[in-house]
A and B are shown apart, each in its own frame.
Chain A
């Protein structure tokens, strides 16, 4: 067997790993704040109003935060889906799957950047 160090895999795994941390730590907080706390009356609904959140988006730091929050988990999902598909039987597609999965994440990245920095 001729082994060769894989040069690109650490990059994708690094994105997967960071995405996992963000998905596990930050997304539940947002689900709680926007989806549960307001409806339970734990925080003032006015704080989460559309106008206030749209105003917040004018701050580039908020945009940057949203980029991190939304983009990294896309790579986490892409990596997971890639390996899951290979393991449930699409092994013959193992060479194509990275392009499809990470390609999807790259498209998602472009969409996030477009929406946050151009549309809004």
Chain B
């Protein structure tokens, strides 16, 4: 055996050993632009970590939630990294379903995470998920239509102003609706908006003793306001409209205002898809003069289920995907306007980002204004802004959402829907043991 053969043999053995030791991480995720973009950029990670390979499972949001819940609850161990919302993180962390992220590395700069987002992902001071992108809610409005109607958007608009402006802008003959809002039933659809609206009207889902509050004047006022405004100034068939439908209407120039997730700003200002890209203005979520701007806060996050046997490698990937370095990687490959928003303070200090994303400042203002630990001006026993962070909320929120969507569709009245919502909520909360 000569030296060359020996070297060749040693190298081959080392290579084979390397492949044999390579860990494969299975990542469950949802299909949205930022996630798909990340899948295309993972070569950067695998080149730096040749001992880790990645497998992606992309699922529809509700199927993902159901699959991951089943897998974690049964300790199936199918996933090493899961994409979950800030609704799930505190609930799952308290149940011991998630690994606390202590291994993100010294250079991760956890203090750079936006405080509101970090707070929503921490339990007892420990971070259980790292934010990939975050959002609040704000007003997106047509500056040209406001100008034409002689209106000026205030720095901090009230719902009263929004209602008047919506009616003034509406021009049915030109197919322009004053305002587009979610109406499609679902805890993450119409109830996200209506819960934030009710928060800003001074209402709450439950009092300190977990008694449902649908029989209180705030819910009546907010729901009646929403239904009346949508009747006068909303699009036809609004009870079927969710985020995507309203996005389409706004991009086609059929909405004077749209109040929804801040992440929409990058879509409506993109001239490739939006016919009104250069006419969009932004303003903070309205209030009723009480300083409560809805407290909408959502983030998609990466977490490691406790059933994973590859927690160390998984944290390595999470640290890469949610790092400042990843933001710079996206900026260099796809431009600053395409970096995942709403997670790090440093992004909003970047001049390059502010130049590329005109919606950066209003987005940050909206996120800073959101406090999910105090969603209402009244005291509450729960956390969460546009949702209530309890396991029962998915089912209850969707049931109530169906009742309210039916009101918008003209199939029932505000009073009937609220009475039914109250009865249902009392029954469910009693059954779940919250009401003694």
Q: Do A and B bind each other?
A: no
